[in-house]
Amino acid sequence: MINIIICDDNKKDLTRISKIVKSFFNNIEYKLHLFNDYDDNFNFIVNSNLENKIYILDIEVNERSGIDAARYIRNKDYKSYIIFLSGHDDLTRIISKKNIMCFNFINKFDDTEYNLNDTLNRIMLNINNNNEIVKIKVNNTIYNINTNKIYYITKETISRKTLIYYDNLVLSIKISMRDLLNKLNIDLVQTHKACFVNDKYVIEYNVKDKYILFDNNTKIDLISKKYMKDVIC
């Protein structure tokens, strides 16, 4: 479960940032915690044992300092991710001098959606690298995906479902392959327009005879010279 804590005293900004976050975590199990002040309710979340916390903090909230709020967070834990929001770029240097381990600073008025999505992508990559199990929610179903044991990912042409292949299991999920890969955020090799493989399980890439051989003797033909140029030197 990803816990996103957003604090901003501007209702429009709070709504806008919330929409970006909801869109990003569309297929991942998450919970949104919204605040308009660094008050006791906010501190209650800080003091809680919720897992995978991502804070998105406005630097100036009702004459209170987001930097002070971040310092309070760091007194409690060093694992949470902190993203600062502000319309003042000059605050970046001030933040960098504070020992609060800010993951990123985002300007509210400069390509906010792109920068926030990019930052969340990098955070999820860190989280997924530390946690082999990624929870993905599709409609009313939650899938626990062990990213470390994935052999390859491809898609069905007719049903448009994405298939995750393990050593002795195939998981079929009704989600586009692009969306799934974005949510998993793991390092896979693209060998075909419809295939991504886990290189550590591959014994042989044979472009001439058009097959990939895995360490469990599974052989697939989803390989193309177009995508293998950067893999095979």
Tens-digit pLDDT profile for residues 3-31: 999 999 999 999 999 999 999 998 788 99
> Two tokens at 47?
């003091």
Closest to 185 in 3D by CA, of 17, 15, 28, 13: 28
Closest to 205 in 3D by CA, of 186, 189, 185, 181: 189
Share of the chain above pLDDT 90, in %: 48
Residue 43 CB partners (closer than 8 Å, separation 6+): 72
SS3 assignment, position 167: coil
**Domains of the chain: residue spans and CATH:** 2-130 (3.40.50.2300), 145-228 (2.40.50.1020)
Tens-digit pLDDT profile for residues 155-205: 987 777 999 999 889 999 999 898 898 888 788 899 999 999 998 899 999
Helix (H) or strand (E) holding 46: helix 40-47
> Two tokens at 16?
């806008």
Name the band, by pLDDT with cuts 50, 70 and 90, for residue 125.
Answer: confident
Total-model pTM: 0.60
Share of the chain above pLDDT 70, in %: 91
- How many Å apart are CA 200 and CA 4, to the nearest integer? 33
Closest to 221 in 3D by CA, of 201, 199, 194, 198: 194
- How many Å apart are CA 143 and CA 136, to the nearest integer? 5
